[in-house]
Structure 1
Amino acid sequence: MDTFVTQLLEFLNVELTVLFTSALPLIELRGAIPVGVALGMSPLHATLLSLFGSMIPVPFILFTIRPIFNYLKETKMFHKLVHKLTHRSMSRSGRIQKYGVLGLILFVGIPLPGTGVWSGSLAAALLDMRFKYAFPAILIGNIIAAVIIMGLSSGVLELLQ
């Protein structure tokens, strides 16, 4: 019984590590899938967990970031940070502005630094994109990125064996 509990806790520990890693800004599923594979998960399992974890912050960002930014703009301490984040997100959102939902899918789906779920959600919120369009677009883009990263992670595994 003791070994079963130990094995279960070790298994959950790995899964929670992947889940929480994928929810972090900058790392997202682009980093969480390789982490899961490195911790012994199958690429598919790591991908599914990472997909779920990386989508957790999206509704919170889409619904709350504008009021939070508006409040923080009024403070001396965070005014520059909010301006920098807003300017950076808007400068990278040209494709989203030009192509709308399709641009958001491509922006999130291309696994490059600074083009993930967090940046896409922030850009969608700042561009006043409605949730019913933004969330599915971010999900589809994230699935595209997940498939690409899973393929790369699987390819690296093949090379190492």
Structure 2
Amino acid sequence: MLSFFKTSLVGQYIFVFLLSMVPLVELRGAVPVAHGFTLTSTGFNLILGYIIIAVGNMIPMPFIFFFARRLLEWGKDKPVIGGFFNFCLTKGEKGGMKLQEKAGGGLYWALLLFVGIPVPGTGAWTGTLAASILDMDFKKSVLAVIGGIALAGIIMSLVSFLSIGAILGFAG
């Protein structure tokens, strides 16, 4: 099964698609993997890979916005899952409060930058959860998160391209 993802072109596209949906990994992890696939002789199309990664990163957004908060609130006092659910709620609330403090009237621009600047703990999952916790408008939040995904994609592409170029340059 794992060899399917390594050797099959379709498997590589499926792999980066699924990887882009994983919390904390998201686009930030899928873009460097896509760059790695281009180094093999499989014919991996990086532009198509970026589109697939962006779509994969966007698919969880409506579910997170409309259901994650309710699920986390429901499970925060449950014996086995309560600790993790409280962690997620706290992270979303802190992210939301930071956005509100720094943004003032430009909350949606702040959300775009929060999602778009690829540092640990930011991304579409956390940004969408923060927007849900802050009761932000869904359509405006989606546009801000999509803009953030595009920005993160550009940044990660440049970082991946420069890193791979440097590694290949040093390797000879």
Q: TM-score range by the shorter chain?
A: 0.7 to 0.9
Whole-Å Cα distance in 2 between the matches of residues 39 and 112 of structure 1? 23
Would the aligned equivalents of 1:109 and 1:141 in 2 still touch at CA under 8 Å? yes
Q: What does residue 101 of structure 1 align with?
A: 108
Would the aligned equivalents of 1:95 and 1:104 in 2 still touch at CA under 8 Å? no
Would the aligned equivalents of 1:37 and 1:46 in 2 still touch at CA under 8 Å? no
* 1:25 and 2:32 aligned: no
Would the aligned equivalents of 1:95 and 1:103 in 2 still touch at CA under 8 Å? no
Normalised to the residue count of structure 1, the TM-score between the two structures is 0.86
Would the aligned equivalents of 2:69 and 2:89 in 1 still touch at CA under 8 Å? no
Q: Which amino acid aligns with 1:90?
A: E
Tell me by how many angstroms 1:27 deviates. 0.6
Q: What does residue 3 of structure 1 align with?
A: none
Tell me by how many angstroms 1:89 deviates. 2.2
User: Residue 37 of structure 1: which of 25, 35, 38 is its match?
Assistant: 35
Name whichever of 52-61 and 84-93 sits farther off.
Answer: 84-93
Q: What does residue 123 of structure 2 align with?
A: 116
- For the aligned residue pairs, the C-alpha RMSD in angstroms reads 1.9
Would the aligned equivalents of 1:43 and 1:153 in 2 still touch at CA under 8 Å? no
Name whichever of 112-121 and 61-70 sits farther off.
Answer: 61-70
Which stretches in structure 2 are left out of the alignment for 5+ residues? Answer: 39-43
Whole-Å Cα distance in 2 between the matches of residues 136 and 10 of structure 1? 34
Q: What does residue 130 of structure 1 align with?
A: 137
SS across alignment from 2:148:
helix
Tell me by how many angstroms 1:74 deviates. 4.4
SS across alignment from 2:120:
coil
User: Residue 82 of structure 1: which of 85, 94, 97 is its match?
Assistant: 85
Whole-Å Cα distance in 2 between the matches of residues 76 and 95 of structure 1? 30
Would the aligned equivalents of 1:104 and 1:138 in 2 still touch at CA under 8 Å? yes
Instruction: Please give the per-residue CA displacement for 1:64-107, whole angstroms capped at 9, x wherever unaligned.
Output: 11221222134233233222211122223344213211111110
Name whichever of 61-70 and 21-30 sits farther off.
Answer: 61-70
Name whichever of 76-85 and 13-22 sits farther off.
Answer: 76-85
Q: What does residue 41 of structure 2 align with?
A: none
Normalised to the residue count of structure 2, the TM-score between the two structures is 0.81
Q: What does residue 9 of structure 2 align with?
A: 11
Runs of 4+ in 1 over 4 A off after TM superposition: none
| Identity of matched residues, % | 32
Which stretches in structure 1 are left out of the alignment for 5+ residues? Answer: 1-5
